Amino acid sequence: MNFISEIENEVIEEENFLKNIFNRFRKRDFSGDTGQAMKNSSYQLAKNLIFKFGSLLFTIVIARMLLPERMGLYNLALATIVLFSSFSDLGISSALITFGSKMLGNKNPEKAKGYFKKLLKWKLQLVFLISVILLASSYFISNLYYHKPIFYALLAGGLYLPIVSLIGFVEQSFRIDNNFKIPLFKEIIFQSSRFIIVPLAILIFLKSGLSNSKIIFVSIMALTITYLISLLFLIICANRKLRFLKIKSDNLSKVEMHELKKFILPLSATAMAGMFFGYIDTLMLGRFVSSKFIAYYGAAFSLVGAASGIIGFMSVALLPIFAKKSGKALENIFKKARGLTLIISILAGIFTYLVSWYLVRIAYGADYLQAVPILRWFSIIVILIPVIGIYVGYYTTQKKTKALAWLILGSAILNIILNYFGIIYGLENYGEMGAVFGAVGATITSRTLYLVGLIIFRKKY
């Protein structure tokens, strides 16, 4: 009976919380930490909706234009470039929002700028180094590992990588100042320009009869131009809107430098492992299956990513709040955010499973119907990813980066092992589609175990 009473009390508390949120939105009351979280969440939700729906529609458009074979090559090239980009951050963006938010919260903008300058210097050094490595290894990756014509696309990645990496860093600068409006406007500009520039470039060069490798190169270069437009917009806005960047910086002390490095080093492993975690399935499929099966896998994962990203807006919006809170106040905010995210995620997962055939048929067309059973299994991911995001935000802002690093590193290693054996077993017994399902099973299993680890370690530490 006590257990049932606790459940009833929790339900009543959740209802009161939602009513309070609704009333504050109705009255436009954004005062205090709760109001700031609501305001941030609103902008972040709008940005996520634009990003996810825009990305999904963009993917659908170019998937229909490129068709499965070329779309698979596009997905593979982009996944490889994004994997390299993970080495150009290594926790720097997370460090900026954690330390920068705290300094601004403590009314110390000089020190916030000090952290910004130091982290920007490290960021630029890493971006240059990783871009050079990508260019130098492009031939080996495309011709000796994948055995697929994406060499020119990887060369385009040498320009794509630094631009996209710097966009992420500058966006974090706005978030530490609790300015979520400018990143929203940036997203609108990016999605609008991408819808115009990239399909137009593909259409023009498809008519010219270029080879598949050159078509993918053109696609990546056109995409890079749209990111460059977004970066220029952010830089202009940063110079005008971010007041802490206009004052003289306070250099970091030896103790602060030591604390910063201590924070970043575990996140370096986390960032690299996280990217392997997210893209290892595509990278390994790239070696073992033909490009059209990569396209089927990517089509299903794009739909899942759009749904889970929209649901997971709260994890990003609450980062500055998590960074400033501790004790009971932190626990209260965390539990409410987790509960609300879980309810929405479960409903979205069920919906995805039930309408998967219609989603694929309407979105991608008959050429991609082999992605339907993949999407049905991936409906589980729709539930997992947003909840994982809440836990990762908690671990990062509370500086539990060492525990997070070990968890994601272990999960990434497990994911690689499971993917290898799953793909090999599926390929040998059921052909190329069997290999795809081997990757699907590995992805679901590793992410489930990752979430379990996050739950256990949070209680332990």
CA distances to 410, 445, 449 from 415, rounded to whole Å, are 9, 8, 10
3-class SS string, the chain = CHHHHHHHHHHHHHHHHHHHHHHHHHHCCCCHHHHHHHHHHHHHHHHHHHHHHHHHHHHHHHHHHHHHHHHHHHHHHHHHHHHHHHCCCCCHHHHHHHHHHHHHHCCCHHHHHHHHHHHHHHHHHHHHHHHHHHHHHHHHHHHHHHCCCCHHHHHHHHHHHHHHHHHHHHHHHHHHCCCCHHHHHHHHHHHHHHHHHHHHHHHHHHHCCCCHHHHHHHHHHHHHHHHHHHHHHHHHHHHHHCHHHCCCCCCCCHHHHHHHHHHHHHHHHHHHHHHHHHHHHHHHHHHHCCHHHHHHHHHHHHHHHHHHHHHCHHHHHCHHHHHHCCHHHHHHHHHHHHHHHHHHHHHHHHHHHHCHHHHHHHHHCHHHHHHHHHHHHHHHHHHHHHHHHHHHHHHHHCCCHHHHHHHHHHHHHHHHHHHHHHHHHHHHHHHHHHHHHHHHHHHHHHHHHHHHHHHHHHHHC
Least confident of 68-82, 94-108, 386-400: 386-400
Do the beta carbons of residue 38 and residue 21 sit within 8 Å?
A: yes
Ramachandran sector of residue 108 (left: φ over 0; alpha: ψ -120 to 50; beta: rest): beta
Residue 320's pLDDT band (cuts 50, 70, 90): low
For 302-312, the pLDDT digits (tens) are 888 877 766 66
238-243 mean pLDDT: 85
Q: Where is average pLDDT lowest: 165-174, 262-271, 384-393? A: 262-271
How much is the pLDDT for 115?
Answer: 86
Q: CA 392, 298, 89 angle in degrees (round to 5)?
A: 40
- Region 372-384 average pLDDT: 92
Q: Which residue did the predictor score with more confidence, 248 or 12? A: 248
CA distance readout (Å), 451 to 203, 208, 344 = 42, 48, 17
Nearest to 374 by CA among 292, 262, 459, 264: 292
Structure tokens at 224: 């890079």
Higher pLDDT: 320 or 292? It is 292
Q: Which amino acid is at 346?
A: I
Task: Tell me: pLDDT of 392 over 90.
Answer: no
Task: Identify the pLDDT of residue 269.
Answer: 66
Residues of the chain above pLDDT 70, percent: 82
Tell me the average pLDDT across 337-360.
Answer: 87
pLDDT of 91 strictly over 90: no
Please say whether the beta carbons of 192 and 171 come within 8 A: no
**Residues 229-240, mean pLDDT to the nearest whole number:** 93
Mean pLDDT, to the nearest integer, of 65-78?
Answer: 94
pLDDT at 299 over 80: yes
What would the two tokens of residue 24 be?
């504050």
Please report the pLDDT score of residue 12 as a whole number: 47
The pLDDT of residue 47 is above 90 = no
Higher pLDDT, 367 or 339: 367
pLDDT confidence of residue 312:
62
Asked whether the beta carbons of 36 and 30 are under 8 A apart, the reply is yes
pLDDT band at 36 (very low <50, low <70, confident <90, very high): low
Please name which of 115, 227, 206, 112 lies closest in space to residue 164, comparing C-alpha atoms: 227
Confidence of residue 210 (pLDDT cuts 50, 70, 90): confident
Least confident residue range of 86-95, 190-199, 332-341, 444-453: 332-341
Contact 278, 419 (CB under 8 A): no
Among residues 4, 16, 37, 54, the alpha carbon closest in space to that of 333 is found at: 37
Q: How confident is the model at residue 168 (pLDDT cuts 50, 70, 90)?
A: confident
CA trace torsion 270, 272, 276, 277 (10° rounding): 10
pLDDT of 419 strictly over 80: yes
Paired tokens of 146: 């994948």
Residue 35 has pLDDT above 70, yes or no: no
The percentage of the chain sitting over the pLDDT mark of 90, rounded to a whole number, equals 42
Asked if the model's pLDDT at residue 457 lies above 60, the reply is: yes
Return the pLDDT at 71.
Answer: 95
For the ranges 248-252, 280-284, 437-441, the maximum mean pLDDT occurs at 437-441
Chain centroid to CA 211: how far? Answer: 31
In this prediction, residues 342-369 reach a mean pLDDT of 90
The Cβ-side half-sphere exposure at 72, using a 13 Å CA radius, reads 24
